[in-house]
Amino acid sequence: MIRKEPLRPGGRSARVQASVHQAVRALQARHGRAGLTIPMIAAEAGVTPSTLYRRWGDLPELLADVAVERLRPDTPPRDTGSLRGDLEHWAEQIADEYASVPGRALIQDVLAANATPERAYQCCAFLREALGLVILRAQARGEPTPDVEMLIDGVMAPILYRILFLGDRPDKARVKALVARALQGLA
Amino acid sequence: MIRKEPLRPGGRSARVQASVHQAVRALQARHGRAGLTIPMIAAEAGVTPSTLYRRWGDLPELLADVAVERLRPDTPPRDTGSLRGDLEHWAEQIADEYASVPGRALIQDVLAANATPERAYQCCAFLREALGLVILRAQARGEPTPDVEMLIDGVMAPILYRILFLGDRPDKARVKALVARALQGLA
DNA sequence: CACCTAAACGCAAAGGATTTGCGTTTAACT
DNA sequence: AGTTAAACGCAAATCCTTTGCGTTTAGGTG
């Protein structure tokens, strides 16, 4: 949904986009992710391949577009009653989601689309938004809080680094330690 | 170089591999990275496309193979006389290298090769090795040292996260702060 | 409400890329 | 020197990608 909406005349943008996204989800669920092609997606979505080539350029771009939508959080972080609890619970949830086979593939799809780095930025923005909410709740409780960048560097970056480069979901103890370290020495 | 060496009969493995790697470097330097194709690389390397398809499967795998070799460090981290100095200097160097346009592309190539996650692991191993050396030198000086995983989480992960997801090379002040925080509270 | 315009789409042909079977060459081992 | 199996070159078949052109659609206008 990064493309500018057609403010000018023609364009059935929305309808095609929706059916293509749905087609990709269906095909990825049915077959694996490997071997997915643009003609295949076009057939499933009921459009011609040239439409997809014109709109997205190539398969990686299309997959990245779908991936960003799927990475968009559907629910805000759970309120556990404390900053530490919120962070631990939410970081665990993100780790589970991103370390799963489909989750890791989504991140790869986003990072592989080298034509539009804005998509990777968008994914980080989802995390920032969630962290911002957690921080606001903590401030409302009167707890001392770190800033968002500290949590990005101290908690999210290590989790994502390990998932991406080591194929390794950090275990609960490590996540707890990352959170503890990020909260260390607050006023 | 991940493939098992041909311990059995045939195979001119090494010769083809070398000329293909060289061809990719030459083509990426001449034209951009975009628009690179397997037939193009095959022509430059003086082999037939089918050879490359049989050995690597597809373009992302081939590019990932070349990228890992190019990410292999050629010199050990400089000895500045102190652990903090070594880490700061080396982290700056890695940040510069990985945040450059070709550097970022190499990392993307490595992460995009979803058939062989071992390559991403290998890249992390390069960093671990360098960090291990820095730590050994510090221990020889009698300095207290963190363990490698602490530095991976505290210094390398944030740098790489920001380069990959934000397209943003952390500035010198942030790198210094990351190092300082990772060294905080050592025995 | 009817008309106008430009973007998006479908179709189909042309141009490349990918796959695959088969014969040949190469390197290690005897 | 002979043997063997992997790797390679070649070429045909298949599939994907690109592109020109006519048609449809959505938004703007009189």
* A121-174 residue pLDDT tens: 999 999 999 999 999 999 999 999 999 999 999 999 999 999 999 999 999 999
Q: Which residue, A143, A139, A130, A177, is CA-closest to A158?
A: A177
Q: What is the reported pLDDT for A152?
A: 98
pLDDT over 70 percentage in chain A: 94
Coil/strand/helix, residue A40: helix
More confident residue, B2 or A24: A24
Say yes or no to pLDDT of B6 above 80.
no
By the 8 A CB rule, do A172 and A93 touch?
Answer: no
Residue with tokens 């990686």: A60
- The dihedrals phi and psi of B47, each to the nearest 5 degrees, come to -130, 175
Tell whether B156 is within 8 A of chain A (Cβ). yes
**The two three-digit tokens of residue B44, written as one number:** 């430059």
d(CA A67, CA A45): 17
Q: Which nucleotide is nearest to A49 (CA to C1')?
A: D17
- Best probe of the A interface among B153, B166, B169, B178, by most A CBs < 10 A, is B153
Burial degree of A4 (CB within 10 A; 0-12, 13-18, 19+)? exposed
Q: What is the reported pLDDT for B1?
A: 40
Residue B126, Cα to own-chain centre: how many angstroms? 7
Residue with tokens 């398969």: A59
Residue B43, Cα to own-chain centre: how many angstroms? 27
Q: What is the reported pLDDT for B13?
A: 75
Q: Report all structural domains of chain A as residue ranges with CATH numbers, in order of start.
A: 1-57 (1.10.10), 70-183 (1.10.357.10)
| CA-to-CA dists, residue B8 to B5, B11, B12, B118, angstroms | 9, 8, 11, 24
Q: What is the reported pLDDT for A11?
A: 62
d(CA B143, CA B134): 11
Chain B, 102-121: which have a CB under 8 Å from a chain A CB?
105, 108, 111-112, 114, 117, 120-121
By the 8 A CB rule, do B169 and B162 touch?
Answer: yes
Say yes or no to pLDDT of A4 above 80.
no
Would you tell me how many other CB atoms lie within 10 Å of the CB of residue A80?
A: 15
Q: What is the CA radius of gyration of chain A?
A: 19
* A150-182 per-residue burial string, b: 16 or more CB within 10 A, e: under 16: bbbbbbbbbbbbbbbbeeebbeeebbbebbebb
**pLDDT tens readout for residues B162-187:** 999 999 999 999 999 999 999 998 87
Looking at residue A33, the DSSP 8-state letter turns out to be S
| CA-to-CA dists, residue A46 to A5, A17, A30, A56, A104, angstroms | 22, 11, 17, 16, 28
d(CA B185, CA B173): 20
Longest distance between any two alpha carbons in chain B, whole Å: 60
Q: Do B167 and A108 touch (CB under 8 A)?
A: no
Q: What is the reported pLDDT for A2?
A: 38
Nearest residue, CB atoms, B166 vs list A124, A154, A162: A124
**pLDDT tens readout for residues A17-47:** 999 999 999 999 999 889 999 999 999 999 9
Å from the B14 CA to the D1 C1': 26
Cα angle value B178/B179/B181 (rounded, 5°): 65
Chain B hits for A123, CB-CB cut-off 8 Å, are 165
Residue B142 beta carbon within 7 A of nucleic strand C = no
Q: Do B154 and A154 touch (CB under 8 A)?
A: yes
Q: Do A34 and B114 touch (CB under 8 A)?
A: yes
Nearest residue, CB atoms, B111 vs list A33, A108, A117: A108
Chain A hits for B164, CB-CB cut-off 8 Å, are 111, 120, 164
Looking at residue B153, the DSSP 8-state letter turns out to be I
